[in-house]
Amino acid sequence: MTIKVAILGFGTVGEGVWETLHTHHEYIQKKLSTPIEITSILVKDSNKKRNLPDSVQVTTDIEEVFQQPVDVVLEAIVGKQPAYQYVTRAIEHGAHVITANKEMFAHYGPHLLELAKEHNVWIGYEATTAGGTPVIRTIDQMLQVNQIKSIQGIVNGTSNYILTQMTKHQNSFEDALLAAQQKGYAEADPSNDVDGYDAFYKAMILSQLAYQDQPNWDEVYLEGIRTISSQDIDKATIQGQKWKHVATIELRHGAPRASIQPMQLNEDHPLYNIDGVENALSIQTDLLGSITLSGPGAGKLPTASAMIEDLLYVFQKERQQEAQYV
Amino acid sequence: MTIKVAILGFGTVGEGVWETLHTHHEYIQKKLSTPIEITSILVKDSNKKRNLPDSVQVTTDIEEVFQQPVDVVLEAIVGKQPAYQYVTRAIEHGAHVITANKEMFAHYGPHLLELAKEHNVWIGYEATTAGGTPVIRTIDQMLQVNQIKSIQGIVNGTSNYILTQMTKHQNSFEDALLAAQQKGYAEADPSNDVDGYDAFYKAMILSQLAYQDQPNWDEVYLEGIRTISSQDIDKATIQGQKWKHVATIELRHGAPRASIQPMQLNEDHPLYNIDGVENALSIQTDLLGSITLSGPGAGKLPTASAMIEDLLYVFQKERQQEAQYV
């Protein structure tokens, strides 16, 4: 058997997946004991010059993707649509789905997880949150025995980079944002990051995982980092504190609550030292106590690695199940 | 089917496992869809008063443990022997083994993993290293796609507590050790912790996991924290640095190398802020980059939780395999 893979979206992340599947080809094949074949890549612009072999179907038409055999779809598109429509199609087609799309998965995760169950396929979403840092798998693992009391996280690298620049180099917000844009950490329109939407989506995904439920979106307090002035930063520094953009998810009276907002953290807070584009989660549990996990929040290879870990996870599970009964 | 569990050793950790299996009984049973029954507990002193129901066989005789049906053995004994003999017996009996015994597993892990493979059972050892902090599962997961370049860790809470006291409160080594003993973090004979043996064992287990091999033990540089004076601490503080007791494991020319020694860390080192009894690992990988995981390094409930996570892991895997073909 060969595992047939389709990649949807060929931006930074999609390309990273393609590259990693090639550079780590032998290693991955050994882990799976099965060859992997990329059958199709769905792109936006088919005229763009890409260095891809002829054996791979490059298409702008999702129907052509599913005219080929597909065992798993790696979805690396940005935004809700058409990504949602495509992954729904994939699940109904009987393919596993691995997604890096936080906006889509925050909106439709609950429904997609149900749909996947019905169709006996699996959805991997490690790459949606904190890039390559394995937060989803770690929380999932803890949930085996522990109940999660709360999660606090720095889940947007751009905002954290800006706040770090403002703190370490006394930059103004505008200068720090410019630096982030020059380094490629921030988009030309930075709203998604600095106004907290990106962190909001990740918080909803974490809530779904930790509590099998999301808060009512209207009741989530959402504040970005534009309100933090240089004066605020200086005041915090004098007090031995740092401003961080923190997503908090917790269970209150049996229902999940969340807030995403700038917070002044003391030196002994587990997120105090998370600087630059780094992401981190601090997870409070009933038995294990407090666990903190930090690492790269984005990036081509970390995100690709997270997606491929999901891919290996699902097929190793399948293979184990088969091996047992051969 | 009921899962039959034997607990070997009823010190702090063994008792923690017993307690957690009771306090989290419903939660665990729901996860497993199967009842769990503790059939025997192996103790050192059968005359000691314990609050255990009559349905549980409490014995000092390992043979009596295996006269009962046993699906899994939770080993929470200290030291190489007789623990090694007991878990070997368990594996040959066809039982899964979950161990918290770092000294035993550092010595015999390679052999036991082989033996378990032959007998088609599984060995869980999450609780051997960094208590409840899920370092074993996280590294195992990363290894799916990533190669581990190096691991640096603070893996002995007692030594880290002493160094933290010396740094924060200008304590002498002797006073800090006394404080650790009064808090129950250090034994009356602290050698295992402060001379680095405990950290050494954990480093060997991590090497086995990351590189499927251990360094030649004679070639591992091992230095405890007794050599660190108050003057050393002061000098580091002036330089904006901290002394930490660091285990380093890395691949050099294709072979694993390790050192366990006090190191002066800069503020930007991922382990710089790990204070008190906390443990942490910083893991360098080829794709994900650097991931840091920190949490409680010991403790009754964190360690028990790690063992029960292992227990759930193995039986959920079995159950999945069965479900697929019912």
Interface contact A141-B142, CB threshold 8 A:
no
Q: Known catalytic residues of B?
A: 202
pLDDT of residue B262: 98
Instruction: Look up residue A80 and give its two tokens.
Output: 């809700």
Query: DSSP 3-state assignment of B286?
Result: coil
Q: Say what the pLDDT of residue A32 is.
A: 87
Q: Which of B77, B48, B45 is nearest to B61 (CA)?
A: B45
8 A C-beta contact, residue A129 and residue A155: yes
> Tens digit of pLDDT for each residue in A174-189?
999 999 999 988 888 9
The answer to whether the bond into A82 is cis (omega within 30° of 0) is yes
Q: What is the mean pLDDT of residues B98-113?
A: 97
Pick the closest to residue A98 from A307, A326, A315 (CA basis). A307
CB A114 within 8 A of CB A123: no
Q: How many angstroms from the chain centroid is the CA of residue B259?
A: 18
What is the structure's pLDDT at A59?
95
**Closest Cα in chain A, distance from residue B21 (Å):** 10
- Residue B325: per-residue pLDDT: 47
User: Residue A321 has what pLDDT?
Assistant: 62
In this prediction, residue B326 has a pLDDT band, given cuts at 50, 70 and 90, of very low
Distances (CA, A) of B264 to A220, B237, B239, B249, B268: 43, 10, 10, 17, 12
Per-residue pLDDT of A240-296, as tens digits, reads 999 999 999 999 999 999 999 999 999 989 999 999 999 999 999 999 999 999 999
Domains of chain A (ranges plus CATH)? 3-131+301-323 (3.40.50.720), 135-297 (3.30.360.10)
Looking at beta carbons, which residues of chain B come within 8 Å of A147? 27
The average pLDDT across B261-283 equals 95
- Report the C-alpha gap between B315 and A126 in whole angstroms: 24
Element (H, E) at B176: helix B173-182
CA distances from A38 to A15, A20, A137 (A): 12, 12, 25
SS3 B177: helix
Query: Which of A200, A120, A166 is closest to A276 using CA atoms?
Result: A166
Peptide bond into B82 cis (omega under 30): yes
**Which chain B residues have a beta carbon less than 8 Å from that of A19?**
none
Which residue in B has a C-alpha nearest to residue A307's C-alpha? Answer: B145
> Can you give B128-150 as a three-state secondary structure string?
HCCCCCCHHHHHHHHCCCCCEEE
Look up residue A50 and give its two tokens. Answer: 């890409």
Q: Which residues of chain A have pLDDT under 70?
A: 319-326
Identify the pLDDT of residue A326.
39
Which residue among B272, B291, B317 places its CB closest to the CB of A133? B291
Q: Report CB contact under 8 Å: A146, B305.
A: yes
Scored b (16 or more CB within 10 A) or e, A104-135 reads bbbbbbeebbebbeeeebbbbbbbbbbbbbbb
